[in-house]
Amino acid sequence: MPSERLKDRVAVITGAASGIGRAVAVLFARAGARVALLDVNREDGSALELELGPPARFYACDVSDRRDVRAAFDSVADELGFIDILINNAGISHVGTVETTSEAAFDRIYRVNVKGVYNCLQAAVRGMNGRGGAIVNMASTVSTIGIPERFAYSMSKGAVLAMTRSVACDYLDRNIRCNAIAPARIHTPFVDGFIAANYPGREDDMFERLSRTQPIGRMGRPEEVAALALYLCSDEAGFITGANFPIDGGTISLRP
């Protein structure tokens, strides 16, 4: 039963206030986990804490800030217990080629999507305190394939995949499993905001066009990604580490 799969395990979820992170938090709480909700959005994070109720706790945290991360993880350990699970989900996107990506934009993507993952990996490994655990890093289909005008974002997600495999290799003897999930386009508030900002008056048409770019003919749902994360963090996945799991409607294997 879902209510028993993560019973009493402490799960840290970054970027938990919306989209995929929110779906993971809701599902993990239903599965019995004590969820630590990390996000820079205080309003939405606090609202989710209220919605889930105890023992869910919200911690305001900028993953790109090492001190912020350390403070948040220390608070989780003090208030919820030793960390069993990390969902490294916080991230930002960017549209541009190598020529149109400014240095400032590149640095911002790096700080959040690469350094942020590093900061949380380091804190989680220490917080697992030799007891073992499960880590899921949110990569992307662009970790392994190219798509137009995603230069900096692709760079960052390629780094996430490399870090996943490195951590999986380095911590075998400490029973820490580390895997990646590689979503294609998932229907989140970010997607709606992107379409509204870039295609005013054409929102419905662009939504359909973007949906059809995936062979299955639709965008994924955050709940589908959350279900995969639940499996990877459960005992059923105890023989899986260092792997990358596309959840992409056939984007990698079936596209022309």
In b/e form, how buried is each residue of 211-222, taking b as 16+ CB within 10 angstroms?
A: beebeeeebbeb
8 A C-beta contact, residue 235 and residue 166: no
Region of 8 on the Ramachandran plot (φ > 0 left; ψ -120 to 50 alpha; else beta): left
Q: Per the residue annotation, which of 59, 118, 153, 171 is the catalytic one?
A: 153
Q: What is the spatial distance between Cα 95 and Cα 97, in angstroms, rounded to a whole number?
A: 7
The question of whether 231 is a catalytic residue gets the answer no
8 A C-beta contact, residue 242 and residue 165: yes
The amino acid sitting at 44 is: D
Beta strands at 133-138 and 176-183: parallel, antiparallel or unpaired: parallel
Q: What is the spatial distance between Cα 96 and Cα 85, in angstroms, rounded to a whole number?
A: 34
Close Cβ partners of 142 (under 8 Å, ≥ 6 residues apart): 150, 153, 154, 157, 158
- Catalytic residue numbers, as ranges: 153
